[in-house]
Structures are given as C-alpha cells and as structure tokens.
Amino acid sequence: MKIEMNNIGELFQSEDDKFYWESCEVIIPAIFNTKWSFIFEDFDPSTQSEKYQDAINNFMKMSNTDFKKAGPYLFQYYEDTIQKWNPKPKEYEKFYSANDVWSHVDFSSGYYITASTDVDDEVYLSLSSNCDWNEEHGLQIVYYRGNELVRVGSFTGHFRNPNKNLIFQY
C-alpha cells in the first residue's frame, strides 16, 4: 500500500509492520539542502495522516536560519562531551562557537528523520546523524510538531530530555 504526503511524496508501507512507513529521499532545504528519508513509526494513516502532515509541513517551511537556532545547544553538547574526555585525544580540535561545530556534523545523504508520536500523542520529528566529537552516540535533534526545537544531544531515541524544560541535558 502507498499513500501520498505533501512535501515528501509517496510513503511506502513495510511488508512486515503495517504501522511502519518510509518515504524516498527528499531534499531538506533547512538542513543545508541535504537528502533525507522520512520514517513513520506507529503510523496509522486512517487516523493520523493530518497530524503527521501538519508536522511535515511545519518542518519543510523551516529555513536554514531556523534550523541553525539549534546551534547554541549543539555547542553546549560539544563542550560537555569534550569536558568528559580524559585524556583529550591527540587529534582534538577546539571549537569556539556554534558556527565551528556545525561543520563537524555529518549531514551527508542517507540519514533518516523519524516521525512518531510520544505518550502525549503529538508528532515529533527526530533527526539523527554523526558528529566528530561523539562518534559512539552521534547527534539527535528533535522537533515537536515539526517546528519547535525540544531536544539536542547524543542519540538516545527519546524525544524529550528527562527534564522536559531543557533542550540540552547531558
């Protein structure tokens, strides 16, 4: 079965899981014009299409400037991570601002944006990628309803931090 979503095209249903859907790669202008696929988890198109479509529309309206508002939290994640290194690796490079850190995040093609609902039954879009300062845990950036930044940090799979008022929490 296939369904259509504005801004990202057709979604293809998994043969193994009727609530798992995936898009083809689409260019995301906000993320430096890189290509990403969307994965929809626990998605029932008969009851949730409008809610997911609204989140996708909100996300696709974001500009690169909007996306880079995560920069201060990204920089905080970097700083907290390197403070825990002991000793610091020889190839360690000091970054001085969020602008320095962005160039050390791998936004190359082949990554996924996961769309899913949480216990509050709202849609979250979770982006995961690699970063130079935490190769083991990478980077996760989460948007509530597609346009409200709610989490930046290592990839945990969670949509919010334990303290929901904090965007970054180590």
Q: What percent of the chain has pLDDT over 90?
A: 54
**Per-residue pLDDT tens over the stretch 88-125:** 665 667 788 888 899 889 887 557 889 898 878 889 99
What DSSP string describes 4-36?
EETTTEEEEE-SS-TT-EEEPPEEEGGGTTEEE
pLDDT tens across 134-165, in order? 888 999 999 999 999 999 999 998 998 888 88
